Copies of this chain bind each other. A is one copy, B any other.
Amino acid sequence: MCTPNGTAAFAQLFGLLALILLLVWLLHYREGFEYDSENPLRVFNVHPFLMFFGFIFFVGQAMLVMAYRTNQSERMNQAKYQTLKILHMALHLIAIILGIVGICAVFKYHDMINLEDVYSLHSWIGLGTFCLFGLQWLFGLGFMLRGAAQSRAAMAPWHVAGGRALFFMAICAALTGLMERTTLNPVPQRRESHLINFTGLAILLFGVFVDMEVGFYRLE
């Protein structure tokens, strides 16, 4: 998925880096993650893991798959294009399913320790983005299955602009979430805090490079 511009390669690099840093954080500095644990912190940790690796990472891959098309030197044949569209849809579907599990994990954690749900800026951005994301997916599916070629062409710039906006919002949700985590008990010490900051920067740069790659995408 490397284009002449190289932005997709940078996106992959920072995506993997963010995943590694997140795993080091959760497994080494925190107590790991497990949905069915008795330990609320282990249940909570499912949330950052799945919201990044399950949701944001897969959505990024789905966007890169479509951007790949226009970086081909020749116009792609229709069959291959259909395959890419199905892959784009399927990656988003995986992202949505894993995202739902990730959101359930944080509600379960709140239940376990009696914390109020949907209180912080992070939760408002995150849930708002996720709901709009579900709508965007349904519209995309509707157009893929039933839309006439003409109306598809008219909707395409809005589908791309909407998708980029939602991805942008998802990155904001991730960063506000990391920020919230660093201030909750147990408060991380210096080294862990730096690790969290580097994880946040890697997630941000993954977002920036995926968005940049899609920005070089030209609708035909």
Query: Which residues in B have their C-beta under 8 angstroms from that of A125?
Result: 175, 200-201, 204
A200 touches B121 (CB 8 A): yes
Query: Which residues in B have their C-beta under 8 angstroms from that of A161?
Result: 212, 215-216
B211 touches A121 (CB 8 A): no
Query: Which residues in B have their C-beta under 8 angstroms from that of A30?
Result: none
Cβ-based interface call for A136 (8 A): no
Complex Cα distance A168/B175, Å?
Answer: 12
B121 touches A175 (CB 8 A): yes
Interface residue count on the A side (C-beta < 8 Å):
36
Cβ-based interface call for A71 (8 A): no
Complex Cα distance A122/B175, Å?
Answer: 9
Complex Cα distance A146/B193, Å?
Answer: 44
Query: Which residues in B have their C-beta under 8 angstroms from that of A179?
Result: 120-122, 176, 179-180
B121 touches A169 (CB 8 A): no
Cβ-based interface call for A147 (8 A): no
Query: Which residues in B have their C-beta under 8 angstroms from that of A128?
Result: 201
Cβ-based interface call for A182 (8 A): yes
Q: Smallest CB–CB gap between A129 and chain B, Å?
A: 9
* Residue in chain B with minimal CB distance to A198: B124
